[in-house]
């Protein structure tokens, strides 16, 4: 008893260790996926990482984030644009000269002249186009034009706005510090977002992400080899089959389409019991199976009906069915199913169907009798005689009622009599043999085959080609147990 408990404790401990290992690897995979997502979004979101702030209406909210652009720009082959970088440095030098020499000094005048020239070059050459940031330049031009000129002056150009802004008279009139603060807050931060990205020999923008991704790929490759080795030893399967057992881990080794790693990451997190994907997995499986089931069902039915049509056209199907009737029949359960089926059908007909349609049977029998009596000489005269004209109708009704009731009672007696039941079975067998012989010898077989062929084609058009997808999904979503499936279909 103690040995059993020790084994159970060892098993629980081993499972706990495996679970922790799975969780660690799942978290590493999730970290790698996060790194992939960061790399894919770094260039479009570089302004956010550069400014580390969020713009809400006219307010800019700074965020306490580290400046990672100096570290990650080299990974993406990004470096500051020379022209815009020189522009920013010239503005910084202007601020230094203003503090040291004043606005009327020759040094400040030289810096203002340089800024006017660089502003015109920036507007004319558009150094933002290489980084797909032409919209940023338009924003800079609009802000500068609105700052220098009134909004009622649509003819004013951004070039003239820059040329006037970088003059001593304008700065003295508007105030040096307010204008420089405006430039730093509204213009310089946009200029600093411009960059130059190098192009590799393959014609694509430079990206050294593989340097960061290679350790993860090596780790997952090593783990996949170890897992495959253990699986092949435990399950006694080929090593390549063991690798395919965990095919989703191969996505980690792909140097392209790295966003697909979300699938193995989600699977690993589910296996590590960090998230629950049972419902999502069931829905995905059912949707996939339902689509295949619908196509497969339609294809199988079309192929089966097509083979039936070919057999009917060639005449082989009818001959095989008719010839099979004369061959010895293999009884699997020592029970005459045909006799039982006939007996159940007759009982259902006699005890339940005939009593309900008895008025219809009497009406059917009354019609030919009345038709014959109408053609009998003297019947019309007899009907016109007072007190006697209704006698034929009464006799006719009594005769029909007696005949149907007698026939019905005879059928009941026959069903309850074993000898009569045997005679009925013999009658049915003889009827089938004679019918088969007549079908084989006459021309009716060809006509029946033609009609059956047309019927099969109508079934194909009206039912098989219009299989509803929801009907397939009902079967897919139904319980797996055959008994439960049968109850669901009922």
Cα distance between residue 198 and residue 255, in whole Å: 21
Cα distance between residue 142 and residue 421, in whole Å: 104
Domain locations along the chain: 1-74+200-276, 78-197, 309-489
Rg, Å, the chain Cα set: 47
- Helix or strand or coil: residue 341? helix
In the block, residue with structure tokens 């049977």: 361
* pLDDT for 149: 86
pLDDT digits (tens, 9 = 90+) for 286-302: 666 666 666 777 777 77
Counting other chains too, the contacts that 431-439 makes at CB distance below 8 Å and 24 or more residues apart are: 432/325, 433/325, 436/322, 436/325, 436/326, 439/318, 439/322
Alpha carbon of 151 to those of 58, 303, 340, 441: distances in Å?
18, 76, 99, 104
Report residue 37 as tokens.
């997502």
10-residue mean pLDDT profile of the chain (490 residues): values are: 60 77 93 95 91 79 89 92 93 92 91 94 92 91 88 75 92 92 92 90 88 94 91 84 87 91 92 83 68 70 73 62 57 63 75 80 72 63 56 67 74 72 72 68 66 74 60 51 39
Report residue 176 as tokens.
């040096």
DSSP type of residue 81:
-
Q: What is the DSSP string of 377-446?
A: TTHHHHHHSTTTTTHHHHHHHHHHHHHHHHHHHHHHHHHH-HHHHHHHHHHHHHHHHHHHHHHHHSSHHH
What are residue 78's phi and psi, to 5 degrees? -100, 135
What are residue 81's phi and psi, to 5 degrees? -70, 135
DSSP type of residue 205:
B
Alpha carbon of 121 to those of 83, 88, 107, 391, 409: distances in Å?
9, 14, 21, 125, 115
* pLDDT for 356: 83
* pLDDT for 487: 41
Report residue 409 as tokens.
């009672």
Q: Is the four-CA dihedral 182, 184, 190, 196 of positive or negative sign?
A: positive
pLDDT digits (tens, 9 = 90+) for 340-357: 776 777 777 777 887 888
Strands (E), 154-222: 195-197
DSSP run (H or E) holding 60: strand 59-62
Non-local (6+) Cβ contacts of 58 within 8 A are none
């Amino acid at each position: 008893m103690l040995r059993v408990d020790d084994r159970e404790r060892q098993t629980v401990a081993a499972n706990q260790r495996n679970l922790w290992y799975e969780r660690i690897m799942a978290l590493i995979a999730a970290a790698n996926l996060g790194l992939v997502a960061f790399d894919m979004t770094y260039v479009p979101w570089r302004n956010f990482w550069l400014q580390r702030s969020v713009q809400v209406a006219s307010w800019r909210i700074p965020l306490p984030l580290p400046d990672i652009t100096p570290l990650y720009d080299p990974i993406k082959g990004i470096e500051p644009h020379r022209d815009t970088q020189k522009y920013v440095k010239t503005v910084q030098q202007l601020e230094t000269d203003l503090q040291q020499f004043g606005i009327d000094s020759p040094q400040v005048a030289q810096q203002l002249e340089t800024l006017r020239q660089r502003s015109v070059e920036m507007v004319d050459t558009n150094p933002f186009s290489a980084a797909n940031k032409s919209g940023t330049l338009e924003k800079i031009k609009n802000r500068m034009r609105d700052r220098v000129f009134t909004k009622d002056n649509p003819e004013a150009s951004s070039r003239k706005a820059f040329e006037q802004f970088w003059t001593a008279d304008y700065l003295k009139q508007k105030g040096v510090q307010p204008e420089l603060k405006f430039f730093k807050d509204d213009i310089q931060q946009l200029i600093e977002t411009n960059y130059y990205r190098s192009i590799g020999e393959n014609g694509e923008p430079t990206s050294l992400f593989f340097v960061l991704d290679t350790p993860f790929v090596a780790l997952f490759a090593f783990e996949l080899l170890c897992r495959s080795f253990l699986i092949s030893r435990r399950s006694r399967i080929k090593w390549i089959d063991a690798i395919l057992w965990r095919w989703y881990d191969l996505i980690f080794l792909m140097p392209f389409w790295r966003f697909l790693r979300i699938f193995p990451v989600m699977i690993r997190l589910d296996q590590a019991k960090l998230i629950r994907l049972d419902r999502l997995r069931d829905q995905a499986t059912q949707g996939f199976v339902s689509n295949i089931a619908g196509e497969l069902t339609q294809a199988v039915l079309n192929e089966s009906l097509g083979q039936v049509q070919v057999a009917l056209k060639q005449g082989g199907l009818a001959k095989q069915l008719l010839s099979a009737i004369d061959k010895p029949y293999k009884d699997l359960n020592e029970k005459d199913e045909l006799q039982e089926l006939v007996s159940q059908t007759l009982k259902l007909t006699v005890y339940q169907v005939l009593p309900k349609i008895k008025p219809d049977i009497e009406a059917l029998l009354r019609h030919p009798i009345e038709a014959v009596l109408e053609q009998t000489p003297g019947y019309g005269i007899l009907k016109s005689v007072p007190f006697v004209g209704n006698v034929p109708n009464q006799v006719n009704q009594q005769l029909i009622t007696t005949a149907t009731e007698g026939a019905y009672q005879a059928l009941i007696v026959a069903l309850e009599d074993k000898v009569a039941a045997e005679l009925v079975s013999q009658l049915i067998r003889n009827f089938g043999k004679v019918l088969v012989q007549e079908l084989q010898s006459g021309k009716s077989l060809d006509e029946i085959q033609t009609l059956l062929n047309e019927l099969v084609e109508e079934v194909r058009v009206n039912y098989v080609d219009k299989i509803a997808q929801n009907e397939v999904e009902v079967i897919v979503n139904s319980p797996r147990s055959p008994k439960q499936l049968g109850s669901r279909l009922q």
